[in-house]
Amino acid sequence: MRRSGVRISHGPQIKMLKLNIIYEDKDILVIGKPAGLVVHPNKPNQNNTLVNGLLAYYPPIKEVGEDPLRPGIVHRLDKDTSGLLIVAKTNQTFKYLKEQFKQRKIKKKYLALVVGRIKDEKGIITKSISQSKKAHNKRSALWDEKAKKAITNYKVIKRFKDYTFLEVVPKTGRTHQIRIHLASIGYPLAGDKQYKFKRQPCPKGLGRHFLHAYYLKFQLPNGKMMALKSELASDLKKVLQDLKNEQN
């Protein structure tokens, strides 16, 4: 693992952003994204995102991709989700990775803590996802004519008194998919403020939703298979340890 310091212009000030580079070659970067960092700007003058750091670290990336606000970005993680993110360094690799995602050849696994005790050891959620009619920044598992197919597998790692720790494997890549799917079966992510239930409990010390992208398996453009892992983020580790201590 290598950490690289890069400088970002933030208005009249300079802000340091440390990119946690898990893997790099001439074609790709795999970043360990921290919670709280937005992946890409939504408007040109937004300059405190991962993309701003990528532009500072590797300036040629500004020519990569289809959207100048998302250079090199082939998939994304929510602001408060931590973990592994692949970035393309060339247009050829960008197109290659987009096709790999489209064909569902890139395997992603997440670690999640949900509210409630799931009885089954594993399960699959196949509810389609559409734009919420109540809020523009939310999605819904209620079907309508614009709903898109979504599939999520999960299995139980450990049960606590009021929570369940899961490994989650999304087979599709819809916005907020894991969060929506788990909430739709009655087990919302611990700490999720957007898709929470009324009077939903939250583990002590958890300041964001409990979701970490810990595993990526994919084939490089040269044919080599890669399997990368990321340790659970320290804030989430502490939450789990506290739950274990309470249970003992």
Query: Catalytic site residues?
Result: 78
Pairing of strands 211-219, 82-88: parallel
Question: Which stretches does DSSP call E strand in 92-190?
Answer: 107-115, 122-125, 130-131, 139-140, 152-159, 163-170
What are the structure tokens assigned to 163, written together? 């929570």
* C-alpha to C-alpha distance for 240 and 227, rounded to whole angstroms: 25
The residues, any chain, with a CB within 8 Å of residue 218's CB and separated by 6 or more, are: 86, 97, 100, 105, 106, 107, 225, 226
The two structure tokens encoding residue 128: 């389609």
DSSP character for 190?
T
Cβ atoms of residues 248 and 125 within 8 Å: no
Q: Which residue in 49, 76, 93 sits closest to 213, CA to CA?
A: 76
